[in-house]
Amino acid sequence: MSNQGVFVSLNGNIMPKESARIPADSSAVRYGTGCFETFRTDAGKFFKLGDHIDRLNRGIDYLSFGQIAPVIENDLKEQILKLLEKNDLPDSSAKVRVQFLLDEKSGYNVDENPAHSVLITVSELKPQREMVSLATVKTIVIPTSSRPTELKLSNMLHYRQAWREASQHGANDALMLTQDGFVAETSIANLFWIKENTVFTPDTACDILPGVMRNCVIGFISDQLGLNVQEGKYRLDELNKAETVWITNSVREIQFVRSIDGQEFDTDSEFCNKLLSDFERLKEEKLR
């Protein structure tokens, strides 16, 4: 029987997940002071791992006011590979989550040399067969002026709320807008669509979390497919005129959207097939 998901790594020590503990009075518990990265590994190889570690370290620097040393990519990779082996997943596709937890105990004050923890979990990644259905929700994205949206901070309850709201409408993800009513992102991914050979995606002025996969796909579509990519502010009616819509994140990679608020989109065109096949070739070249 597979041990997948049974063991975790806490501060470099592999242990049963039931044994992993953090202080009950830490600011990570009280206020959600932490940041994380989620990505996949395929048979022990990684895609854009350095980009994820860079963003994780920017989150650590932000939370600790530069008092905590950055995570070293090679050290983290070694820990992940050992954890995959322990969970019987070395040759599988797996979802990896690296969670940084700040263990300050003084409320809002900044501790000198604050304690912290790094928790790594892995789980088997099943193929995504279901097409995405989106529902536009009332929960909006948080403005960049209130939090650095380019970081994956632990306190992301607005995404959780948006996803639950969408599920009440029978959808499996939420389409979130800005406070000014522009299309932003989904609760788990960045958003793209194509119309008349031009690809559109909300830009960072829409308070999105600009994902590692989003940035990769923008470059890939422009450089490899030769299509124009326009980043901008778009209303729902512009999205509704799309021919094909898809979402991107580092676990699902590229996943097509079947419908938005009941309106259906093409998910099996020549463009869809080329986008997926060409991306898979690019990924195979870049896996490390």
11-59 tens-digit pLDDT: 999 999 999 998 888 889 889 999 999 999 999 999 999 999 999 999 9
What per-residue confidence (pLDDT) applies to 1? Answer: 37
Calpha distance 10→280 (Å, rounded): 33
3-state secondary structure 228-256: EEEEECCCHHHHCCCCEEEEEECCCEEEE
What per-residue confidence (pLDDT) applies to 108? Answer: 78
Note whether 96 and 49 are within 8 A (CB).
Answer: no
Which phi and psi angles does 79 have, rounded to 5°?
-65, -40
Closest to 117 (Cα-Cα) out of 130, 98, 137:
98
Phi/psi zone of residue 253: left (φ > 0), alpha (ψ -120 to 50 degrees), beta?
left
Determine what percent of the chain is predicted with pLDDT higher than 70: 98
pTM score: 0.95
Calpha distance 74→53 (Å, rounded): 10
What per-residue confidence (pLDDT) applies to 4? Answer: 55
What per-residue confidence (pLDDT) applies to 3? Answer: 52
User: E strand or H helix at 17, and its extent?
Assistant: none
User: E strand or H helix at 275, and its extent?
Assistant: helix 270-286
> For the chain, which ranges sit under pLDDT 50?
1-2
Domains of the chain, each with CATH number or no CATH = 7-124 (3.30.470.10), 132-286 (3.20.10.10)
Provide the token pair at 120.
Answer: 């790594």
What per-residue confidence (pLDDT) applies to 126? Answer: 86
